Structure 1
């Protein structure tokens, strides 16, 4: 553990606020532009493919940057690399705020992808900066920001898109990230570093290529087709590259990814649970936002605007924020494994309600609120499990892999959700025979999410088992 002086309660609160703001801006940057993509297409004359790259570029860069920047943070400084991530978000957002050129806008969005590392870096930094009594609630809050940003992004984008120019969305990210970077620089100390060792460039290359080969076909599967040669070829290439990374990293003295730590049963189970939680939450967001916007002529939709669709998700985000400190106390009393299992059960219940209760808007809001509660508790408990079973010197890298697992779950949810809604359709005669997603499509999507969240609950029970949670599996408890 670090030997720096314990911060005063006021300074600790300011440190948490500074890092939390950066985590929120990083999370918002991934969802804010989704509702306004058609507006951007019309304004800058971009094709559908070009506008999709405004999302894909952020996704690809984020997938590669999160584990690499997180590992570099353990080697060269967590505060230093957090500042790199936040300043990249500020620079990318400001580029997009000031341009109408599609190429420059895609470059700006790619820079924003580097900010994905802000959440694991913030978690690992606070785990060494704060007194033990504050770490649990602080790391729970920062971790929950990944879901909070998703829940708040849609209503905020809908509100602004109806009243101001869409460039205001980029100004929010740019100014917020810059403010976070300045306050982190002023308030947060750099924990002491040991010998950083050598940078594993071969590991970086293999990891980058493997993740691009995995994330790109998932993000494009709806347009390419799951059975296309590009999709299958890249997915096979990703398996080969990541398997090669596994073999090589076990032989490297200072690996980019410590496979021995990653292979510990508690870490494996936690990362699998993270993937399931990321999948269930994002698919619920996508499904709910689309569901309430479906025309009333479908027989189930509400014909709502983007703003109303976003407001349906707002209680979900509020509950994630409110439940973060509560979750920290539950973890202290029950243990993170049992809390994770409880979160999975709550999430499953909310998703099952979304299948059964479909007639009134309040029913949709109730279901998404319960989903938000389960997701918030689950997201808050995940870093506690990672930090408990990870050596202090590897916290940033381990939390980076965990954040990547959640992001991969979200990417898979987007791909599968898009495919389901495009495949299970109904012809609406009142709309000229237009083919729109059927009620069955949404029910199947929520059913798959419920299955994923139930598996996450079972993972939590496994983590609570004495056979998994043993002293030999933990080198240092930091939460």
Structure 2
């Protein structure tokens, strides 16, 4: 078997590639209507398509990984990333870019699958640190990717972003094929196509209502129809999954207290993270004449970037701490750090270094919190369910980030004033965003205290030593 350190590094690079896809379009997002010769409502689908694909494919890919081999599905997802990147890069119009971005979103499933692979192939003593390292890539990829994307768009054609992601995906594909061993732990059975379809339809309705509600109107017919319809479909889907013998997701496993509470905490942590991603960059980029800091996108991204680096630096410490005191304390510390970060911003947000300090604290909070959640999940599910269970946990995080993007975005848009023809969020808008971030982190903190501490020997199986 290849060196275990090499396996961890390759999977971490795959995770960085995955998280980078979510900041890839940020530098040109506001310019998409002009670049693609389309309306702003149409170009919004460039972002929405990635979100939907990521949320739908991640739990399904987890189940496919459990059944057919996790490395095989990781390779499929990376191949979809490369295909989507080439389609978007070669497309002159909006349809190809939307299709390409949807295929890029599929690569999000690489992170939970990579974490499950680590449980399968690493020695028991290395699993927690490796998981913390892999979890850190969720923040590091986005933090490093934003300034890289900004530099590329400032110095060359925007299509280069997609050619770059295609090249990156190709390199990662080769590394995974070369270094990561084939999966030996597989779950027998048939794939639940009806369950996959029901989950996809239900999630599409709910996520469209959340992500587009502020644009369509929260009480508009499309928003209500999609939102309520999606919830109804998910309820019917849940009832169906409980009745069949080979479900897409074993909801009885998902209902175990440790798993259920961890997933609920994931929603809150995802919300708290993305509240910072929405609010801090806007604060930094508001022109000085309008009361802001007047930084360019590149300079603003450099202020935000250290939060991702903090996550990476903390990952080895997170693993050791989890082995010593358990991952529940990591979640508590992570949520507490987020509360301190947003509390600091409520008191001090008048200098660039104030925003830098707040983002460093955000990095501590997300670094600890995101490292703890897959550890808590895998201590509570059998090896045959790790892929699907981690995929479900990633889905809950996505629900949190999607809700934050919609709600915080709506707050900043509604609490704004027009200056020099540009709508600028007011200081009260940012303070409201910080309060929402504190509230979400407080919910995660409260839930963390109720997650069972002890591992149930009937529910969990130790990692396989090698």
TM class by shorter chain equals over 0.9
- Secondary structure of 2:417's partner? strand
Distance across 1 between alignment mates of 2:374 and 2:338: 18
Structure 1 spans left out of the alignment, 5+ residues: 1-6
Distance across 2 between alignment mates of 1:233 and 1:424: 27
Query: Is 2:414 the counterpart of 1:426?
Result: no
Spell out, residue by residue over 1:43-85, the C-alpha distance to the aligned partner (whole angstroms, 9 max, x if none).
3323212321111111111111111111011011111101000
Query: Is 2:357 the counterpart of 1:366?
Result: yes
Question: What corresponds to 2:169 in structure 1?
Answer: 177
Distance across 2 between alignment mates of 1:381 and 1:174: 31
1:57-136 equivalences under 5 Å are 57-136=49-128
Distance across 2 between alignment mates of 1:198 and 1:183: 30
Question: What corresponds to 1:478 in structure 2?
Answer: 463
Query: Is 2:402 the counterpart of 1:414?
Result: no
Task: Give the Å deviation of 1:331.
Answer: 0.4
TM-score scaled by length of structure 1: 0.93
Query: Is 2:342 the counterpart of 1:351?
Result: yes
Question: What corresponds to 1:395 in structure 2?
Answer: 386
Distance across 1 between alignment mates of 2:313 and 2:187: 40
Task: Give the Å deviation of 1:191.
Answer: 2.2
Spell out, residue by residue over 1:239-290, the C-alpha distance to the aligned partner (whole angstroms, 9 max, x if none).
1111111111111111001010000010011011111111111110110011
* Native 8 Å contact 1:344 1:453 kept in 2: yes
* Native 8 Å contact 2:147 2:301 kept in 1: yes
Computed over aligned residues only, the root mean square deviation of the Cα atoms, in angstroms, reads 1.6
Query: Is 2:12 the counterpart of 1:20?
Result: yes
Moved beyond 4 Å, runs of 4+ = none
Spell out, residue by residue over 1:115-170, the C-alpha distance to the aligned partner (whole angstroms, 9 max, x if none).
11111111101111111122111111112222222222322222222222222222
1:19-418 equivalences under 5 Å are 19-194=11-186, 196-299=188-291, 301-418=292-409
Task: Give the Å deviation of 1:293.
Answer: 0.9
Distance across 2 between alignment mates of 1:340 and 1:268: 15
Query: Is 2:452 the counterpart of 1:455?
Result: no
Distance across 2 between alignment mates of 1:244 and 1:344: 33
- Secondary structure of 1:255's partner? coil
Distance across 2 between alignment mates of 1:212 and 1:233: 12
Of 439, 442, 457, 2:427 maps to: 439
The count of aligned residue pairs is: 464
Structure 2 spans left out of the alignment, 5+ residues: none
* Native 8 Å contact 1:21 1:177 kept in 2: no
- Secondary structure of 1:366's partner? helix
Task: Give the Å deviation of 1:349.
Answer: 0.4
TM-score scaled by length of structure 2: 0.96
Spell out, residue by residue over 1:183-221, the C-alpha distance to the aligned partner (whole angstroms, 9 max, x if none).
111121122244521111111111011100111111111
